A and B are shown apart, each in its own frame.
Chain A
Amino acid sequence: MKTIAIQTEGFDLGAVESSLIQGRSDLGAMVSFVGRVRDFSDRPGVRALTLEHYPGMTEAVLDALADEAVARWRLGGVAIIHRVGRLSPGDEIVLVAVACAHRKAAFEACEFIIDRLKTQAPFWKKEHSDEGDRWVGERMSDRWASERWEES
Chain B
Amino acid sequence: MSRTFTHLNARGEAHMVDVGDKPVSHREALASARVRMAAETLVRLVEGGLPKGDVLATARIAGIQAAKRTAELIPLCHTLPLSSVRIDFDIDPALPGVLVEARCRVEGRTGVEMEALTAASVACLTLYDMCKAVDKGMVVEALQLERKTGGKSGDWQRMQASDASPGQAAESTAAAELGDEEGDAVAPQAASVRVRFFAELRERLQCDSVSVPMTDMDTTTIFALKQALIARDPRFAALDEPRVLCALNRRMSKLDASLSPGDEIAFFPPVTGG
Contacts and interface: CB of A to CB of B under 8 A. Distances in A.
B251 A60 contact: yes
A114 B273 CA distance: 10
Contact of A51 (B251, B269, B273): B273
The size bracket of the interface on B is: 20 to 34
A105 to B, nearest CB: 21
A124 B200 contact: yes
Interface in A33-59: 35, 50-57
B250 A124 contact: no
A52 B266 contact: no
A43 B56 CA distance: 53
Interface in A113-127: 114, 117-126
B11 interface: no
Interface residues of A, number: 30
B271 A121 contact: yes
B2 A52 contact: yes
B199 A135 contact: yes
B272 A123 contact: yes
A35 B273 CA distance: 10
Interface string A98-140: 0000000000000000100111111111100000010111100
Nearest to B249: A57
Contacts of B269: 124, 135, 138
A75 interface: no
B101 to A, nearest CB: 29
B243 A53 contact: no
A60 B249 CA distance: 11
A19 B243 CA distance: 39
Pairs A-B, 3 closest by C-beta atoms: A123-B273, A124-B199, A138-B270
Given A124-B198, A138-B270, 4 more contacts: A121-B271, A122-B266, A133-B152, A138-B272
